[in-house]
Amino acid sequence: MNNLVFDSENLNNILENKPVSHQDAMEIYQKAVENPNDLFSVAQSLRKKFKKDSVTFSKKAFFNIVNLCKDTCSYCTYKSEPGEAKLSLMSKQQISELLGLAKKYRCVEALFVTGEQPEQRYQEARDWLKENGFKTTAEYLIHASELALKTGLFPHTNAGNLNYEEMKELKKTNVSMGIMLENVSERLTEKGMPHHLAASKRPKTRLEILKNSGKLGIPMTTGILVGIGETMEEIIDSLFAIKQLNDRHGNIQEVILQNFQPKPDTKMRDEPSADEKNFKLVVALSRIIMPQMNIQIPPNLSPKSYQSFLSVGINDWGGISPLTPDFVNPEFSWPEINKVNENSKKAGFNLKCRFPIYPEFFSFISKELRDKISVIQNEEGFVKEEYWR
């Protein structure tokens, strides 16, 4: 790796394991706009150094527990209003049935997703919780997570701004959890901007949740959304915010880089998709800012070119389901796992199925959860190939 030499002093410093500053990242980006090859080469070298020649994914079932949400984001098609056809209020029986089906499909991850504290805004949510024997969505998620473990799946909960005590309880059953930072820009919360009516997306609020996850030692997935009107400086601010949290607590297990795609039933339906050329620069910058991080893009949001992102720094495809749609991006189908395997091989990488927790984070979870993982774990800490194939 050290035999690479570039005109840019900043890039050479990165190859010598010197940390990159915010100003360095901006300068690297500005040069890469004209010619990205040097940036891409460094990102690829770092990826190879720390992640070798493997690319991972999680075989999951997506549990759309409740999609009522107290917030409104101008790009979101996941949220439902009462009475809409897409409304989801999963009963305990429906959760059990889907867990059983997921087990038959040899899924490993049970991804539990909800809207933001729906019971605070909707009577329908309060009634649904009461019918199932719970007062809060968090209580229901604890129950669902226990069911998943009994069935042989591993829970990963993404339910917005859970409080400290709720997260502490969920840690007992969830091998990891997730919350998207999206962006640390206060400007994006102003009137007319995407997060104006989404109180839970206030940067300070999201950062507090991530800090709590660090204090609790929860392996955490977070990330940014690219293409919703942010500047490159705001993107870099957001990446450094994640880096600083991880430097302090060491619990950020992966960073998702999600490219914006407009949805027909949203306020931002006429906005363009995130520019792919610029998106690749963001991916490469993420790798040089956090060289050892697990970095993923969702393959279904770049269906024609996702494998090309392997050459600019990613090492994970996130969760892919053979059973359930992506309820957050329903118009984008998951690629078939066999096709992902084929495309990864063509790009020179070996596809491996991971748990919703990466092997290097196993020490964060209880012995009980580790014992359950060990049943289908290979010597590298990934899922045995004969199990997920």
**DSSP code per residue over 121-172:** T-HHHHHHHHHHT-SSHHHHHHHHHHHHHHHT-EEEEE-SS--HHHHHHHTT
Q: Which pLDDT score is estimated for 1?
A: 45
What tens digit of pLDDT does each residue of 190-245 get?
Answer: 888 878 777 778 899 999 999 999 999 999 999 999 998 899 999 999 999 999 99
> pTM of the entire structure?
0.94
Please give the single-letter amino acid code of residue 325.
P
Strand, coil or helix: 175: coil
Give Cα separations from 337 to 8, 29, 270 (angstroms). 39, 33, 32
Residue partners of 246: CB distance under 8 A and separation at least 6: 252, 290, 293
Q: Which pLDDT score is estimated for 13?
A: 84
State residue 253 phi and psi, 5-degree precision. Answer: -90, -25
Enumerate domains of the chain plus CATH numbers.
46-388 (3.20.20.70)
Q: Which pLDDT score is estimated for 195?
A: 81
The residue assigned the tokens 């897409």 is 86
Q: Using an 8 Å Cβ cutoff, are 353 and 382 in contact?
A: yes
User: In whole angstroms, what is the distance from residue 7 CA to residue 146 CA?
Assistant: 55
Token code pair at residue 243: 């880096």
Residue partners of 218: CB distance under 8 A and separation at least 6: 167, 171, 174, 176, 177, 251, 364
> Per residue of the chain (389 residues), what is the pLDDT tens digit?
455 655 678 888 888 888 899 999 999 999 999 999 999 999 999 999 999 999 999 999 999 999 999 888 877 778 899 999 999 999 999 999 999 999 999 999 999 999 989 999 999 999 999 999 999 999 999 999 999 999 999 999 999 999 999 999 999 999 999 999 999 988 988 888 878 777 778 899 999 999 999 999 999 999 999 998 899 999 999 999 999 999 999 999 999 999 987 677 767 776 777 889 999 999 999 999 999 999 999 999 999 999 999 999 999 999 999 999 999 888 889 999 999 999 999 999 999 999 999 999 999 999 999 999 999 999 999 999 999 98
